[in-house]
Structure 1
């Protein structure tokens, strides 16, 4: 009986903590400081931003997938990552760093190699479950070099036309994003970030929009 009661209390505490966590807005900029020096860094670092066109979010969380293009499945799995963006409160609001909260900055340390921005996942609670909508019909290629910062760009998301190719687009906002990063993490020399002005979004021939509920 005591064991069952303790288990119920633990589950209840977990639910409360999860509710508190999801009720708070989360920026992708979670690091209090960044120690990145070109001459000592083992890995590289990427920087970019995501802008949501709509003033009010339709989902609770958003995941931006940065996928390794390695042909070795173990390396690809190890080196790939997702950047998490979250809306805030009820009613939900965007809590990014720029454009009245609608633009989120992000930066990630990553292993050297070739990558692409391969998918965007839209997450929201549905009843007692969670709905995941994954859009993987596009690619933004980039490379990570040892000791270098790579600017990926600004990914623009228009949830009002979700389901169309154009609901995700791309823009180079190097000056705006780098200047904002300099203010947030002045200890890093962001002005040396590599900026490929020819980078663009590439759409696949097959539009892929997958919806699952757990």
Structure 2
């Protein structure tokens, strides 16, 4: 997880934090993408506007999350963006079998607002691939203490909206 260490209220952008969770079951894909865009903008999938998870791919594929919560591998993410209204608009799966590669996707629409100089918690985006289901769960009691402990240089109490 790459969380900006120097974020403060004078920052010209806002920061989004959350968790991208994946059900820990086969198949495990080579890559998982969580895409976001400005609401009303082009919903083009763009590598600059994505959270990208790559499982360990040595002998056999396995999730290497920040932690496991039951049967979910939980990966924290953070990014900074200019103020505005955005939404998570797709989850993609990438599979590479050597002689073939394949992409699949699930459209979603989970809106969020970025405020200048503020941190917005967007919850957990949970992918249950087998059931083709993506949900947004607000789990601040689980996530915020872990984030505050891990990134103590950020004044979470002052900046969190």
1:83-115 C-alpha deviation (Å, 9 max, x unpaired):
111110331111111216710010101111100
Unaligned runs of 5+ in 2: none
CA drift at 1:130: 2.1
Greater relative CO, 1 or 2 (CA 8 Å, sep 6+): 2
- TM-align CA RMSD: 2.3
Decide which structure has greater helix share: 1
The 3 A distance-change label for structure 1 pair 57 and 180 is farther
2:12 pairs, out of 21, 37, 42, with 42
Match of 2:52 in 1: 84
Aligned mates of 2:26, 2:144 — CA distance in 1 = 26
2:68 is equivalent to residue 102 of structure 1: no
Moved over 4 A (4+): none
The 3 A distance-change label for structure 1 pair 188 and 56 is farther
CA drift at 1:187: 0.7
Match of 1:170 in 2: 136
Aligned mates of 1:130, 1:30 — CA distance in 2 = 28
Match of 1:30 in 2: 2
Work out whether residues 55 and 102 of structure 1, in 8 Å CA contact, stay in contact via their aligned partners in 2.
Answer: no
Work out whether residues 57 and 87 of structure 1, in 8 Å CA contact, stay in contact via their aligned partners in 2.
Answer: no
Match of 1:142 in 2: 112
1:155-174 C-alpha deviation (Å, 9 max, x unpaired):
11112223xxxx11121011
TM-score by length of 2: 0.85
Tell me the number of residue pairs that the alignment of Structure 1 and Structure 2 aligns.
155
Work out whether residues 64 and 73 of structure 2, in 8 Å CA contact, stay in contact via their aligned partners in 1.
Answer: yes
Match of 2:103 in 1: 132
1:144-195 C-alpha deviation (Å, 9 max, x unpaired):
0000101111111112223xxxx1112101121111111221111223422x
Unaligned runs of 5+ in 1: 1-28, 195-214
Match of 2:131 in 1: 161
